[in-house]
Amino acid sequence: MNFFDRTGKIAIGSRLRMLTDAVTSDASQIYELYGIDIRPKWFPLLFVLADGKEKTITGIAKEIGHSHPSVSNIVGEMTARGLVKGLEDQKDKRRTVIALSPHGKRVAAMLTELCKDVEVAVEDISKETRHDLWRAIGEWEDRLAEKSLLQRVKEARKMREREHIRVIPYEPCYKNTFKSLNVQWITQHWKIEPHDLDYLDHPQEYIINKGGFIFVALYRGKPVGVCALCKMDDPVYDYELAKLAVHPHAQGKGIGEILCHAAIDKAKDMKAKILFLESNTLLKPAIHTYKKLGFKELRETLAQQQKRLQALQEPFKGLSKDQVAGLIRQAVKLRQENEQEKQERAQQIKERFKAKRERERSDRSRGR
């Protein structure tokens, strides 16, 4: 075991395979000891079919936790040995169900004594060890069902690589990077419009000089991602999160999310209340990231919202801010008065109803 002492837990797959090979080799010899001519991998099917019920391959696969192709291959092998047979499903003639053959039933019966002895042997091993392997395997299976080893490795890799990621403010030396990364991203998913080139060719004039900010992500000192926070002339939204792009070779490291966090933090520093961004619903990973960051999907586009706001503002054209404020105060006051009047009417109705009930109660008392 010196090799595994050197590798540590990273070789868990190899070590489990060695353990499985050792147990499987013993299992083959145990079957020979009891005069049972079967292969170890057939045991799960013999076990689940031993209750005498007919089952589909899909049902067996689900019950024993194997894939459909794996069970199908095992059924083929066991059929060739005369242990199982395929039958027409009486409920659905289109389906074939699997059952033990007479020979298979005899073999299954022979397994009874073997299983008792194997269980005693396994219990003996458990008593000789400090840890309950059976329970540990179950716990590992549960944890891996929640999150696979692959996903956990991806997360570990991302966390390690984040140590080499740094976000810095835009400088003129990153102008070409800002444009090239965005052109690559836009042309991959959309079509470049003239206004896109205005921002990409002149980021200082169109973004920074207008109160916006640009962030550059460095990975091991090289620029690999960019993001812009554009100041908006809008009654609802303060800034737009835009021009987010990451080099294809640097994707998967969480750089886009880190850039978004930098932009959001800057917006908070600027006392912004609402941020806006546009994306494509086909970009599911990006949409997932935005929602994780707190963005919510709008029912209408920014252009539609602006059109609706313009329609609402139309009656106030030509009025000063003080005049508009005065109208709003009057509207609020009128609404409050209407609300108070409704409450008073409701109270009057309630009191009249109460008085009527009391008169009826009094009349019944006098009638007695």
Question: pLDDT for 82-110, tens place per residue?
Answer: 999 988 777 766 778 899 999 999 999 99
- Here the CATH number for the domain that contains residue 213 is 3.40.630.30
Asked if the structure places residue 19 within a domain, the reply is: no
Asked if the structure places residue 348 within a domain, the reply is: yes
Mean pLDDT of the chain: 86
Residue with tokens 């070409």: 176
Residue 288 or residue 33, greater confidence: 33
Residue 314 pLDDT: 65
Asked if the structure places residue 25 within a domain, the reply is: no
Q: Label residue 170 by pLDDT band (50, 70, 90).
A: very high
Full residue range of the structural domain in which residue 346 is found:
318-368
Residue 249 pLDDT: 92
Are 48 and 170 found together in one domain?
no
Most confident of 103-112, 283-292, 356-365: 103-112
Helix (H) or strand (E) holding 112: helix 102-128
155-164: pLDDT as tens digits: 898 889 889 9
Asked if the structure places residue 244 within a domain, the reply is: yes
CA distance 212 to 229: 5
Q: Label residue 77 by pLDDT band (50, 70, 90).
A: very high
Residue 105 pLDDT: 92
Please say if the pLDDT value at position 324 is more than 70.
Answer: no
Q: Are 49 and 108 in contact (CB under 8 A)?
A: yes
What's the one-letter identity of residue 268?
A: K
Pick from 177, 141, 170: nearest CA to 16: 141
Concatenating the DSSP letter of every residue in 171-219 gives -GGGHHHHHHHHHHHHHHHS---HHHHHHHH-HIIIIITTT-EEEEEEE
CA distance 163 to 51: 57
